[in-house]
């Protein structure tokens, strides 16, 4: 059974960089079968797709965040990471990682439990 777990600081200061890691068990992120995505949800609001990573090294980002976001992978630990630069209060959200079928689909299964990141001084 595939399991994803997010981890990282719960508090980030404005203008700094948000860094989160997703640890995957039960599947290899480099197998090339799936993509791997980050999705966020501000409190009381809807879902926003941040971007996805594929085993080939290719990445696709939401245009609204593209200038500030990067997704990378640590194959030795079967982890993929999110970096979001120059954060503001608007980046405060619950951040989820999810397995993604990629292509032109919005198929995410399963999801991690999510990790709350607050941007505040």
List residues binding other proteins (CB under 8 A): 37, 46-49, 60-64, 96, 103-114
Considering the complex, state which of residue 49 and residue 91 has its C-beta at the smaller distance from other proteins: 49
Specify the residue for token string 């980002």.
61
Angle at 84 between CA 98 and CA 6, to 5 degrees: 35
Considering the complex, state which of residue 16 and residue 68 has its C-beta at the smaller distance from other proteins: 68
To other proteins, the closest distance from the beta carbon of 121 in angstroms equals 28
To other proteins, the closest distance from the beta carbon of 115 in angstroms equals 11
Chain center to CA of 82: 5
To other proteins, the closest distance from the beta carbon of 48 in angstroms equals 7
SS3 content of the chain, % helix, strand, coil (to 5): 5, 50, 45
Considering the complex, state which of residue 29 and residue 95 has its C-beta at the smaller distance from other proteins: 95
């Amino acid at each position: 059974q595939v399991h994803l777990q997010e981890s990282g600081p719960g508090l980030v200061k404005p203008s700094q960089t948000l860094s989160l890691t997703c640890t995957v068990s039960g599947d290899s992120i480099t197998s090339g079968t799936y993509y791997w995505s980050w999705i966020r949800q501000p409190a009381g609001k809807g879902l926003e797709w941040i971007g996805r990573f594929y085993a080939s090294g290719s990445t696709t980002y939401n245009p609204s965040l593209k200038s500030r976001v990067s997704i990378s992978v640590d194959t030795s630990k079967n982890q993929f990471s999110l970096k979001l630069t120059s954060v503001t209060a608007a980046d405060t959200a619950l951040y989820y990682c999810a397995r993604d079928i990629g292509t032109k689909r919005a198929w995410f299964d399963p999801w991690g439990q999510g990790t709350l990141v607050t941007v505040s001084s």
